Every structure is written in C-alpha cells, then in structure tokens.
Structure 1
Amino acid sequence: MTPILIYGAGGFAREIAWLIERCQNDGQLIEAVGFIDDNTNTHGKTINGLDVFSLTLAIKKFPNARFTVAVGNSQIREYLTKKALGAGLIEISIIHPQTEASRFIEYGQGTVICAGNILTTNIRLGRGVQINLNCTIGHDVLIGDFVTLAPGVRISGCVHIEHGVYIGTGATIINGTLNNPLVIGKGAIIGASACVTRHIPPNAVAVGVPAKFKI
C-alpha cells in the first residue's frame, strides 16, 4: 500500500482524500495518510479522520510517502509542488477509476483527475494538471503544466492550453484546427461560464459569451 500525503487542508484537499479512498476501494494500492499545511494553526488537527502536519513532520512520520497537491490555484500549486520535491517527496498521479479515457492519452507527473471526466484521444497533459468534476476534453488537445480545470469545463478539439492557465467552472473552449489550434496563453484566467471562441493572450482575463479579454 502506497501512503499518500495531501498538500493542502481545505475543501479540495478533502475531496482529494475521498478520491484516493474511491481509488482504494477500486483495488488501487494507495492510501491517504494525512494532510500537509503551511498554516501552523491547523497543525495537530484532524480533518475527516486524517491528521494535519507540517511538511517537515509529515516527511519524518511518513518517509516513504508520495504526495499530491490539493490546491486549485495554479501558481500556488506549482510553488508547493517544487517545495515538496525539494524536501525529497515524490509526486503521484491520482485518476478516478471511472474516468473515460482512450489509450492515446499522455499523463504528466502529478496529474489529478476527479470523477465524471471524459478524455477522448490524442491528448497530452502536462505536470501537475488538475481536472475537476465532470469535464470533457476533445481530440488533439495539449494542456500545459499546472493548468486547472474547474468543474464542468468543456474543451473542444485542437486546443492548446499553456502553462498555469486557470479555467473556471462551466467554461467552454471552442475548437481550433490541426493547422491552427485555438491557444490560451500562459497564465491566462478564463471566467466561469465563459465561451472562448478565439486565441487568448498570456496573462489575460477572459469572461463572457463570447469571451472578451483584458490584460
């Protein structure tokens, strides 16, 4: 049984603990053993049956554990991932057993895929990607490192999503083409329920239907 430490102690961390439990019930040899939190006020507390530790104490107590970062913010997740790796932990991917996905998917290290997701074919996921509940991802989609998809995101085919993008709940990304994929630039934020129909530049915020952006 592989012990897993969950970096984060908020609502999404509790959801990840449930995801790990669901994977375990499906026969995967993994087990959540605790939360890591940089907020000292939570240390020593118990959340949903799991204790909260500092990073140092968690590693001391579970030296062979793997870790996953349960934080939706892309930039914070990248920072915490680097911090945990620097402390000697090894990251693990966690994928809900009922995820619908073809065999033509490339998964980056530290991928988290929650319940109800569909990934079709020829899709590449970068490191630390989080795909929340009930998303769909079409063919020929490239998703960069530390991208976050909030619940209910719909991504059509031939879309490139660059490093650190955050896509809000219920957003829709319309398809590009193989020769001209629709690109969402590095660090962009797509608002909830937005409908993206054209390229979004890096670090822009795009909202509305159709989505309009500002930098």
Structure 2
Amino acid sequence: MKDLYLIGAGGFSTEILHLVEIIQKEKKQWNQVFFIDDNPQIQNTELRGVKVLAGSDFLMTIDSEIDIVITINNVNTREIIINKLKENNKVCFPNLFSPHAIVDYDYIKIGEGNIVMHHVILSTNLEIGSFNIFNSYTGIGHDCKIGDINSFGPRVAISGAVTIGDKNDFGVNSIVLQNKNIGNNNNIWMNTSIMRNLKDGNTYFGIPAKKINL
C-alpha cells in the first residue's frame, strides 16, 4: 500500500484532506497521508493532524512508488508542479472521486490526477483529460469534452456538448450554454454566463459575458 502526498497546505487542501478521510473510511487505499508545501514557514507543522513534511523537491528523492494529489487551484502553478513531478517515474496521480458525486462511470473517459468533490455531477458520454478540479455542486452535461488543468469553482454549470480546452478557470456560479467551444487559458469570473464561443487567453465577466481588459 502506497503513501499519499497532498501538494499544497492552503485552505482548499483541508477540503481535499477531508475527502481523503472519507475515502479511507470506506476502503483504506493509502498507508499514510502527508502534506507537501514549498513555504518553509509551515513545514514541520500539522494541518488537521497531518504533517507538512517539506517542499516539493523532497518528492524527487523518493525511490518507491507514491501517490500524489495536487490541491492547488491556480492553473499555472498546478502546471509547473505537474511538469516537475513527471520527471520522477515513481510518482502516480490517482483520481479522487467523492462518494457523494454522481458519475456515469460506464460512459466516461478520464485521465489522471482529477479531483471530483462532493455533489458534483459528471453526466454521460464525457471525455475528460487530466489534473482538473471539479469543486462541489459543479455539473457537467452530456457529451462534453474537457482538456487538462482546468479549475471549476463551486456550482459551475456546463451544459451539454460543450468543448473546453486547457487551463481555464471557472468562477463560482459561472455558466456555459450548450454546444459552445471554450479555448485555453481563459479566466471566467463568478456569476458569468458564457453564451458564445471563446478563443484563448482572455478574462470574462457578466450576463452575458463580456471580455474584461485588466
């Protein structure tokens, strides 16, 4: 049985730890659980009774197989950590599924390192890449295709047949209407409704969404 390392010891990481505790109670999957964080001020402390061991460089020295879950919401930071850790072939990236999520497991193709929180709905005929975070009460409609390293805040609603690229950040209560295409590296603010296709690298806010120049 492998150890599990949670990267990031911020506020959201406590929610992930609680999810891990629920999974462990149903069926123990990991021997021990630890936090990893690059902030030296919180190393050698504890969070919810779990030790914060060291920075991410520590993981590159481990020569046994380990599981890693990245709990950091920022998509750019998450990508940097992923690229670094993939240099160690002993590292595995499990998907975490809340037992309180509704998932059509028979009709989903999904990569690695995804986090599916409580009361998320992943509907039918979905193609999902890797290292996405689906926060609580998010809903993904039928026939959607989702790339890698996206963050979906609480209560995001993605309608059917939507295609989403990589490294998009969807704020709380944001909405995408059916049959839309979302590019890469977009920041969609809270309470925003996407009613048209989006290209790459922009920020949107409003109902309907308008591009924001920052």
TM-score, normalised on structure 2? Answer: 0.92
Unaligned runs of 5+ in 2: none
- Give the match for residue 211 of structure 1: 209
Indicate the larger mover: 87-96 or 185-194.
87-96
Report if aligned partners of 2:69, 2:93 keep a CA contact under 8 Å in 1.
yes
Deviation at 1:193, TM superposition (A): 0.8
- Give the match for residue 25 of structure 2: 25
Deviation at 1:214, TM superposition (A): 3.9
Distance in 2 (CA, whole Å) between partners of 1:197 and 1:139 is 17
Distance 1:31 1:187, change over 3 A: farther
Deviation at 1:61, TM superposition (A): 7.2
Deviation at 1:62, TM superposition (A): 8.7
Name the % identity.
27
Report if aligned partners of 1:20, 1:30 keep a CA contact under 8 Å in 2.
no
Residue correspondence of structure 1 range 13-92 to structure 2 within 5 A: 13-30=13-30, 33-52=33-52, 53-57=54-58, 63-88=64-89, 89-92=91-94
**Deviation by residue 1:108-153 (Cα, 9 ceiling, x = unmatched):** 1101101011111111111101101111110111111001101100
Indicate the larger mover: 140-149 or 23-32.
23-32
2:150 paired with 1:147: yes
Report if aligned partners of 1:143, 1:162 keep a CA contact under 8 Å in 2.
yes
Unaligned runs of 5+ in 1: 177-181
Q: Which amino acid aligns with 1:80?
A: I
SS at structure 2 position matched to 1:81? helix
Report if aligned partners of 2:5, 2:36 keep a CA contact under 8 Å in 1.
yes
Deviation at 1:59, TM superposition (A): 6.0
Report if aligned partners of 2:60, 2:85 keep a CA contact under 8 Å in 1.
no
**Deviation by residue 1:54-109 (Cα, 9 ceiling, x = unmatched):** 23445667943210100001111111112222244221111111211112111111
Q: Which amino acid aligns with 1:166?
A: D
RMSD after superposition: 1.7
- Give the match for residue 167 of structure 2: 164
Distance 1:28 1:125, change over 3 A: farther
Distance 1:32 1:6, change over 3 A: farther
Report if aligned partners of 2:4, 2:31 keep a CA contact under 8 Å in 1.
yes
Indicate the larger mover: 78-87 or 43-52.
78-87
Distance in 2 (CA, whole Å) between partners of 1:123 and 1:63 is 33
Distance in 2 (CA, whole Å) between partners of 1:210 and 1:32 is 47
- Give the match for residue 8 of structure 1: 8
